[in-house]
Structure 1
Amino acid sequence: MRALRKINKLIRHPRRFFMDSLWFSSPQLQLEKTSNLCFISHLGQLKQLESLIQYENITEITLVILFTRANLKMPEIIRQQVSDSMFKQIAMLELPMQPNRINVRKLGYIKRSYKKVLESVSPKRVYVLSFDSHYVFINDIAQANGIEVNLIEEGTATYKYVGSQKTVNSPGNFNERFNKFLIQYVPFFYGLKSSLGYAKNYKSVYAAYPEMLECFDFEKSERFFLHAGGLTYSEVTQQLANKYGINGRDFLYVSQRYPINNFDYAKTLIGILEKISKQFNRRIFIKLHPKDTPAFRKALVAEIGRNIDNDKKIFLIKEAEFLIEPAIGLIRPEVVLGLTSTTLVYTNLVSVNSKAVSLAPYFLKSLSESQSQSDNKQAFEVIDQHYKIINIFKQVQHVTSESDLEQILLVQAESGVVDKSLGDIDSHVEVASQAYRESKYLKALCNLQWAYPEGLEKMPIDSFIDYLNVNRKVSGAVYVRELLFSVLRDSRKYLIAGILNNSKFYNYVAKDITALHEQGEYDEAMSLVSLVTKVAEANLHYRELILAVTIEQCHILLHRGQFEEAWELNNQTINNEDITFTPDDAANLLLQRYLCFLGISQDHRNLVWESPTRLIDILENQSYVLRGLIAGWECLLSRQNEKCVELLLEIQKRDSMLIRCLQPDLLLAKAYRKLGDYTSAFRSLVKAEKYRKSFYAIQIEIAELNYAKNDWAKYKASYRRAYPGQFLFSEYRTLPNVLNASIHVRDLDDAITAYQLMRDEDVKFLDSDVLENFIEFLGTEEKWEQLINFHHRFHRVGLKRVWPIALAYRKKGDLESACSIIESVPLHASTSEELRFIAELYVLLNKKDDSRAYWAELLRKFPESAPQHAWNYL
């Protein structure tokens, strides 16, 4: 019937028949313009693409789903699983059947289709996951129109090099050979010739092992892997690990589906695994492929039961529908076994110390000894073809015979790309830091993991805190809290690593306890407090370590009305520790507990403001120094700096070990600084340093003193000593000062970083001179992009120094915005440069009258600076 309709159409409407055929037609598509365009054809590509979108924070995306009538279910499945929020628009593009076959009619139609999509969307960037056959046309058309093309790794197929051109290089049938001849020798079809090769040129390549892709030409590369950063981790992974009790001493075998008789396959495989298990006295867990048949599963179970004695060492994981890479990252098994599974290639990216071993040569040899090779010819060809790809990767070991088995644990994999790419701390931390500043949190997380591939316990404390901060952005507070509980429960490992011996960790935990408290989750907060206290007790100085946690614990007790317990706990802790670590903006917690500490009435509390000496006389017990110090804090926070100094000087007259322990000198230094007595402030800090030289709060106060004295270089040096981590700009309250100091010392990178991380609400309280100086600094350094971003973000601030911003818009070709900025500010140009800039801007906008007025003013005020051509505009 379909053939008859075509004949009928040919007879009645011959012109329409030919125009609607694949020779001349193209799809009907109505698409909006977007900055980014992506092409995918199956579900695996979708997951890769969505991961990259998160990894690079890509927005303004058009997604084109390619499909054929051979599988109409696939585009429906993809459409159902697409995260709509990631894409501005989604389009379906039908291709002819068997699009990878060499056929001039089909290739011509596909090329016209791609051209229509690209012209309609008019993107700046295109992202593809395939690079051969008809996909080459995307690259050709995009680059001819000045659009950058970026390649995303699809899997090991990306590493097949020229071998990816299987259709082209193989003889094919007569029809394909004839069509290939037409493309190569008939001028009319020369435009299709690129489909016989593969696209080599890209702007960027995103791949797990970009250093291996020498067959492509690209300007830059980014390490990218779908399962990195815990992106695909789920609770199912942890539940399965717990269910089967799999640990780091076990081996994992990753199964694959092959066209082999189920009995032969199971018998050969279990025989090899049994030898490995006995050789190393290890348990081996078999992870089935989701497409493994029930018959193969039954054959495996039968063979395991037949070959293994009572001391069973081989186990079949019943569940198949879960991702194995996250499980490897969680369990970190000693060895991952397989035949030609791509998991072997990526094992080291999720667990650097796990050895990846291919049994393919040994398996084929054993299978051929027990069965005729002709019986499993297809299987041999498939396994051999896949094995050639696996063999490219140097980090995968290979077992060719039984004698090679003993080498699995004795011999390291051949030094290859993994050794160069993982554990390069400096480069990965630098990328992580930059990604964090750009709000690309998943990218920051991945690079932190690659910097320390042996696990969290190998991270220095500052990187560990950075890791928690990034995870909070990527996975949320609940995940980070679970991570904290996990670290505390596995305390032995992290104590050895030094993480649980550092107060920075406990200060971080204290913030999480605060969050739980604010959410009203008191029981969980107290559970975390209890676990922290138990772990920290192993340290000789544990009270000092968990001081921040203890203060928050007291806050919770007070909130629940347990005043006596709160007073007792604070009295114990703070009488033995230094409470002056508390920064000014957190000291309000002390005020909330003031009455609890003193145990006196509101009338006595008012004595703080009237007579500090008299207050001390009233407090006649062992805690009088502590209470006087708290009163000093209250004076300082209420800006009664003279009374604070008077009170603290009185306290210092008391010669006791308690005074030395509490160290009021730091508080005294703060008060002197706020009074403008920098000499006395410095002397107090010198005294404070005698007891606690490396104390965080002392370094902060030294930095604040240097800032007050306008000693910008020393301020930044002190600030870096106080915050030695990789992300030096994590304290929001210090960012305005860091910005101002960086401008004065002409440190552009730090100035831009501080600005990018500054919250919008902080700008409201920022000195306008600092903002104006920052604009001028960016203009001097010709940072046009940053100036435009600055204007987009803070255009309501009421800026006066707008010339650099207007110049930035002009440099980027946005003349209307430049003009709008100039005309929005009620100020007149005052320099020759400003007058000339406005005059030239109006010339470009063809505003002749306005232009003439500014040229005239320039010639009148600055005749020696005016260009000769200025007279031509009058």
Structure 2
Amino acid sequence: MNLFVIAQFGQLIHNEALIKRDKLEKNKLIILYTSANILVPEKIKNEVDSRLFSEIEMVEIPLSPNSIDIENINVIFKTYKRILKGVDDLYISSFERHYNILHEVALRKKIRTHLVEEGLGTYKFASNEFSFTPPSRKDSLVRALNKSGLSSNKYFPIIKSIRTWILDTLSLPKQLFKALLEIKNSEFKNYKKLELFSDERNGFLGYAKNFHSINLAYPEAVSNVFESKESKILNTYSSYESNVEITSLITKYDIRESDSLYLSQVFQITSVYYADAVIKIIKDELEKSEGRFFIKFHPKDKIVFIDKIKEKVLELGLSDRIIIISESDFPIEAIIKESKFERIIAISSTALVYAKQLSESTECVSITNTLISRLGSNCPVKTRKLMLEHTEMLSIFPHIEFK
């Protein structure tokens, strides 16, 4: 039996493409979820091509499965041993933390393991070596004090009033007891215990490296990251069939090969500054082209940001050349495949990675540096760091231009 383990919709698309490519049969799908979010896995289940799987199972794992918690890791370990019964081949798209426990258990059971494209995250160790940063005693102590509520107790800064003094006096014993429990079960303490484990649970501290096969859009890009007997190119969107009627969308907006596309991404930047910088960049790009520029928003873009974009387009009198695609909840790759845009620009969208497979003539451009420059002090330090880290992952793809 072939077992496919996923937790995201994007992973489903890639895994289904692999099944179609290799004409696999006797396939079972596991959809992992936590109690914090049961809507997403249900949506994923509704999108599954039931013709490709003989069985679909929703499997719950503990909350915060990537945190170092021995109790949670033990539950996950037991769960993964159960779901691997009767499995010949295991297909996974994630390869760190608890997924490496799954991988290690599979190897121990002599199950062939296969890595399947996930997205940009698949290539992150190609530009930055893997390293596991263990939790510090200090950070664990601070986290314990925060979780217990003790750090907000008025005894910490100063007694401000009789009322708060009385309330905090009453709650202090309970908070002290809870803080001691949190410290006892802190990530630092759990990490020290986990280091001593000699079984597959220790895999939580590493990443899955050895596979029977890796199936990626650009397997050569991670030749120094993973080891495998077989390395295969997976061109996911060559066979992808969207539930959205792509042809009608292209007709609706009259998208042509001379047109370009901007793919929005969600970052913590004040909407008015973010929108202003984006539209000015698009305006500059329009001067190099005779076509129009389409904007596809991310499903999680804030309404206020979308409104500011629309305002800037009207303000600059560019409504005839900058067109907003009102639909957002569909894979843009499907449209790229059909419309063959002249140019695609984004910060670090995964579509920049796949676009060349779908349209050889399309130029792919990361605008991170220009955007950060235009934002200046309006781009928070943490956001700038995150944007640059994501963009660095794109540096291994020669077809992407950086501006």
Name the TM-score, length of structure 1 as normaliser: 0.39
- 1:92 offset after TM fit, Å? 2.6
Q: Flag the 1:133–1:286 CA change in 2: closer, same or farther, 3 A.
A: same
Q: Which residue of 2 aligns with 1:178?
A: 189
- The 5 Å alignment of 1:60-209 reads 60-118=26-84, 120=85, 122-161=86-125, 168-169=132-133, 171=135, 173-174=139-140, 175-184=186-195, 186=196, 188=197, 191-209=200-218
In structure 2, distance between residues paired with 1:309 and 1:139: 52
Shift of the 81–322 alpha-carbon distance from structure 1 to 2, 3 Å rule, reads closer
> Contact 2:244/2:330 (CA < 8 Å) preserved in 1?
no
Whether 1:249 and 2:258 are equivalent positions in the alignment is: yes
- Deviation of the 1:236 alpha carbon: 2.8
1:278 matched residue in structure 2: 287
Amino acid at match of 1:178: K
Instruction: Report the residue type matching 1:336 in the other structure.
Output: I
Contiguous gaps of at least 5 residues in structure 2 = 141-185
Structure (1 or 2) with the greater helix fraction: 1
Task: Give the 5 Å matches for 1:252-651.
Answer: 252-308=261-317, 312-368=320-376, 371-373=377-379, 376-399=380-403
Question: Do 1:66 and 1:92's aligned partners in 2 also have CA atoms closer than 8 Å?
Answer: yes
Residue 104 to residue 235, structure 1, CA distance change in 2 (3 Å): closer
- Match of residue 179 from structure 2: none
CA distance in 1, matches of 2:21, 2:330: 22
Contact kept in structure 1, 2:342 and 2:361, CA below 8 Å: yes
What runs of 5+ residues in structure 1 fail to find an aligned partner?
Answer: 1-34, 400-874
Q: Aligned pair in 2 of structure 1 residues 104, 388: CA closer, same or farther (>3 Å)?
A: same
Higher relative contact order (CA 8 A, sep 6+): 2
Q: 1:378 to 1:285 in 2, by over 3 A?
A: same
Matched to 1:390, the amino acid is L
Deviations 1:250-281 (A, max 9, x none): 22111112221111111111111112212444
Deviation at 1:342, TM superposition (A): 0.9
CA deviation after TM superposition for structure 1 residue 232, in Å: 2.7
CA change 1:102–1:389 in 2 (3 A) is same
SS at match of 1:322: coil
Structure 1 residues 566-606: Cα deviation after superposition (integer angstroms, max 9, x where no partner): xxxxxxxxxxxxxxxxxxxxxxxxxxxxxxxxxxxxxxxxx
| CA deviation after TM superposition for structure 1 residue 171, in Å | 4.0
CA distance in 2 between partners of 1:78 and 1:178 (Å): 36
Q: CA deviation at 1:235?
A: 7.2
Residues 497-534 of structure 1: per-residue CA shift (max 9 Å, x gap): xxxxxxxxxxxxxxxxxxxxxxxxxxxxxxxxxxxxxx
Q: CA deviation at 1:93?
A: 2.1
Deviations 1:271-328 (A, max 9, x none): 1111221244442121222222322221111101112368x43222222233321211
Summarize the Cα distance change of 1:387–1:299 in structure 2 as closer, same or farther, 3 Å threshold: same
> Could you state the TM-score of these two structures normalised by the residue count of structure 2?
0.81
- Report the alpha carbon displacement of residue 347 of structure 1 after superposing the two structures with TM: 0.9
Q: Distance in 1 between matches of 2:375 and 2:73?
A: 42
Percent identical across equivalent pairs? 30
In 2, the alpha carbon distance for the partners of 1:74 and 1:290 equals 14
- Measure how far apart 1:197 and its partner are: 0.8
In 1: Cα distance, 2:238 partner to 2:108 partner: 35
Q: CA deviation at 1:158?
A: 0.7
More strand by share: 2
> Which amino acid in the other structure matches residue 388 of structure 1?
E
Contact 2:260/2:344 (CA < 8 Å) preserved in 1? yes
Letter in 2 for 1:295: V
In structure 1, what is the Cα distance between the partners aligned to 2:318 and 2:193? 65
- Tell me if structure 2 keeps the 8 A contact 1:183–1:190: no
Bigger radius of gyration among the two = 1
Cross-structure match for 1:606: none
Letter in 1 for 2:91: Y
| 3-state secondary structure, aligned to 1:83 | coil
**Equivalence for 1:217:** 227
Residues 69 and 398 (structure 1), Cα distance of their counterparts in 2 relative to 1, 3 Å cut: same
**2:236: which partner in 1?**
226
Specify the code of the residue in structure 1 equivalent to 2:115: L
Contact kept in structure 2, 1:104 and 1:189, CA below 8 Å = no
The Cα offsets for residues 24-80 of structure 1, whole Å up to 9 and x where unpaired, read as xxxxxxxxxxx2122112222222222222222111122222111111223322333
2:149 maps to none
Describe the SS at the equivalent of 1:98.
coil
- 1:414-448 deviations in Å (ceiling 9; x for gaps): xxxxxxxxxxxxxxxxxxxxxxxxxxxxxxxxxxx
* Matched letter for residue 397 of structure 1: E
Answer whether contact 1:104 1:192 (CA < 8 A) is retained. no
Give the Cα–Cα distance (whole angstroms) in 2 for the partners of residues 164 and 259 of structure 1. 27
Structure 1 residues 281 and 210, CA, compared in 2 at 3 Å: closer, same or farther?
same
2:249 equivalent among 233, 240, 244 = 240
Secondary structure of the corresponding residue to residue 69 of structure 1: coil
- Aligned residue pairs total 354
Q: 1:190 to 1:63 in 2, by over 3 A?
A: closer
Distance 2:55 2:289 in 1: 55
| 1:483 counterpart residue number | none
SS of aligned partner of 1:285 = strand
Inter-partner Cα distance in structure 2 for 1:327 and 1:90: 29
Confirm or deny: 8 A CA contact 1:237 1:322 kept in the other structure: no
Map of 1:439 onto structure 2: none
Displacement of 1:225 after TM fit?
A: 2.7
